[in-house]
Structure 1
Amino acid sequence: MSVVLVSDEGHVRTIRLNRPEVKNAVSQELAWGVLGAVEDATKDDNVWLICLTGSGDSFCSGLDLRGSEPFSPQTPMTAQLDDLGWVSQFLLTLREKCEKPIIGGLNGVAVGAGLSLALATDIRLMKRSARILAGYPRIGGSPDGGMTFTLSQALGYEQAMRFLLESKTVDAEEALRLGLVGEVVDDDQWDARLAQYCQNLCAIVSPITMRMTKRTLVKATTAIDLEAQTRLELVRASARRSPARMRRKPARPSSRSARRRSSGSRPDRRTPWKGPHLSAGLSVRSASNANAHPPELRSSHNHGLLRQGGGVKHAARRREARSLWWR
């Protein structure tokens, strides 16, 4: 059974999400199927208007969290280069690539990615018993699918923030008051009213007028780069980190001497020598004569020899100096 059903009536093409057993939860096959059906309708001149709705009692309950089989209509190389994926293509395809009006028929619950898909349509009708919900904060996520654009466009900044962060369930009447939908339809009149609305538009508006109206209105109301915005939505790894992981750790000293200074375990050998003055010609080997210096200065002299010139490089000289140190 196909997960996307397509049917034509007159000049109206209806695209129906068809996974009623899971309330039309989004799988990769379903998502790409919807996008492919919209693109096919865009290329068909006999199709003037598109109606997008769900089967059963739901529009779309969001991403299928149980996981789904990998699916992509793209070639392996194209899929590897695609950094947006199907979720960002919801907005880009329905709003920018398709110039034909898309009517969203919200026949039931629309949550998460399902709500992003619904908001990407141009005109929305909602069944009275339907409910909508952002849902992202409940799973520790942030909006995607273009919702940051479409929701703020419909509600304004503050109301969009409240809707997303409060993550409250909105019924049909409140959705109408907020401006998320344009019409609420009683359940017993739903199928007839949705079909009637679509057919009436085709009866009074020419296909060229429809396409030019959408083209110019989308251009007039889109002041941002939608592709860049949808790509930004996908960068959300930091929002899912726990508070403990988000604490910045102090930088580890890069050099050995710096680590010793920070730990306080050993003195820094690069600090200037504060002991007695050493003659310019003094070397480690000349210090082997124990009678060359008074006994009370012997250890300090040899300590200074180790510091002179950045330390002795050769192992033999270091061993000789250490033997003098403990003598």
Structure 2
Amino acid sequence: MSETDTAASVLYEVKDHIATITLNRPERRNALNFDAYDRLERALRRSVTDADVRCVIVTGADPAFCSGDDVREIMAAPKPKDAAPKSPTVRHQPTPAAMAALECDKPLIAAINGAAIGWGMELALYADIRIASDKAKFSEMFIKRGLVCDVGGFYRLPSIVGPAKAAELLFTGDVIDAQEAERIGLVTRTVPHEQLMDEARALAARIAENPPLALRYMKEGIRKGTYGDPRELGGWAIETIRALMQTEDHKEGVASFLEKRPPAFKGR
């Protein structure tokens, strides 16, 4: 992955000890296809091994942060009836990109510049700090596709906004705006869109001024004190998604999205 490869689906750049990872499929609202999932995982892993990096920012190329899975390429792809779907979000272990974010031992800031939907909201949840543009929107819309969320919605969302609010967001798939996200504590602040990256970089610079080893241990302490081990939960979530992707309701959820019509779920 090259910093100068501006055509890549995920960009990686390091400046002043700050790695900026940018989802770069603006024509698809930064929806993740197979290539983007792979590049995102590699970028996050790279930030860990890059000795010059002390803080990481993840963001999207305008107009969106990440609109989730690329439905046409991933969720609507043909799947053998008795085989595990090919989707990188459907495996017998937690999603590799999710684990790369959760295992990143450097402070991770999400600069949410637009829609963070489905797995895009999951990605935002994996960050230690979330800053939102006033154009940002959030939704754990998995229920609308007859699925459950990835490990982020189960593992982090209840700790961030509380179990009852997390349940409301997960059960309804409702879309909330940046102001509501700030009110419930999902993001630490909302700023004018044009100021978002300046705010994120300024915060990252303040963090990067501190001793790297102490930063890593500080992050590990927060993780140990707040969250458990995501692997067992993530494995359960992936197995459940795998089973739900074989249901009629999931297929109806995808078909209704592609056909731009209300779904008709039947509970099978």
Question: TM-score, normalized by length of structure 1?
Answer: 0.66
On the 8 A contact 2:131/2:200 being kept in 1, the answer is yes
Higher relative contact order, structure no. (Cα contacts within 8 Å, ≥ 6 residues apart): 2
- Alpha-carbon distance, 1:92 to partner: 2.1
Letter in 1 for 2:173: S
Who is 1:155 aligned against? Answer: 161
Q: Secondary structure at the match of 2:156?
A: helix
Q: Secondary structure at the match of 2:65?
A: strand
Q: 1:64 aligns with which of 62, 70, 86?
A: 70
- Alpha-carbon distance, 1:245 to partner: 7.7
Who is 1:206 aligned against? Answer: 211
Percent identical among aligned pairs is: 27
Say whether 1:117 aligns with 2:123: yes
Residues 164-179 of structure 1 mapped to structure 2, 5 A cutoff: 164-179=170-185
What is the alpha-carbon distance in structure 1 between the residues aligned to residue 266 and residue 129 of structure 2? 44
Who is 2:135 aligned against? Answer: 129
What is the alpha-carbon distance in structure 2 between the residues aligned to residue 141 and residue 171 of structure 1? 23
Which of structures 1 and 2 has the bigger CA Rg?
1
Structure 2 residue runs of 5 or longer lacking an equivalent are: 1-6, 78-87, 250-264
Q: Secondary structure at the match of 1:192?
A: helix
Q: Secondary structure at the match of 1:58?
A: coil
Who is 1:235 aligned against? Answer: 239
Residues 177-192 of structure 1 mapped to structure 2, 5 A cutoff: 177-192=183-198
Letter in 2 for 1:210: L
Who is 1:51 aligned against? Answer: 57
- Alpha-carbon distance, 1:234 to partner: 1.8
What is the alpha-carbon distance in structure 2 between the residues aligned to residue 127 and residue 238 of structure 1? 34
Structure 1 residue runs of 5 or longer lacking an equivalent are: 71-78, 247-327
Q: Secondary structure at the match of 1:208?
A: helix
On the 8 A contact 2:55/2:204 being kept in 1, the answer is yes
Who is 1:320 aligned against? Answer: none
On the 8 A contact 2:59/2:65 being kept in 1, the answer is yes
Who is 1:83 aligned against? Answer: 92
What is the alpha-carbon distance in structure 2 between the residues aligned to residue 181 and residue 244 of structure 1? 36
- Alpha-carbon distance, 1:244 to partner: 7.3
What is the alpha-carbon distance in structure 2 between the residues aligned to residue 187 and residue 172 of structure 1? 11
Mean CA deviation greater in 159-168 or 101-110: 159-168
Say whether 1:17 aligns with 2:23: yes
On the 8 A contact 1:90/1:120 being kept in 2, the answer is no
Per-residue displacement from partner, 1:282-314 (whole Å, max 9, x unpaired)? xxxxxxxxxxxxxxxxxxxxxxxxxxxxxxxxx
What is the alpha-carbon distance in structure 2 between the residues aligned to residue 157 and residue 244 of structure 1? 28
Mean CA deviation greater in 17-26 or 142-151: 142-151
What is the alpha-carbon distance in structure 1 between the residues aligned to residue 137 and residue 48 of structure 2? 29
On the 8 A contact 2:111/2:197 being kept in 1, the answer is no
Mean CA deviation greater in 136-145 or 59-68: 136-145
What is the alpha-carbon distance in structure 1 between the residues aligned to residue 112 and residue 189 of structure 2? 10
What is the alpha-carbon distance in structure 2 between the residues aligned to residue 5 and residue 238 of structure 1? 33
Q: How many residues align?
A: 230
Letter in 2 for 1:91: A
Residues 307-326 of structure 1 mapped to structure 2, 5 A cutoff: none
Per-residue displacement from partner, 1:190-222 (whole Å, max 9, x unpaired)? 23222212112212x221121010111111222
What is the alpha-carbon distance in structure 2 between the residues aligned to residue 221 and residue 91 of structure 1? 18
Question: TM-score, normalized by length of structure 2?
Answer: 0.80
Mean CA deviation greater in 162-171 or 10-19: 162-171
What is the alpha-carbon distance in structure 2 between the residues aligned to residue 138 and residue 244 of structure 1? 13
Moved over 3 A (4+): 238-246
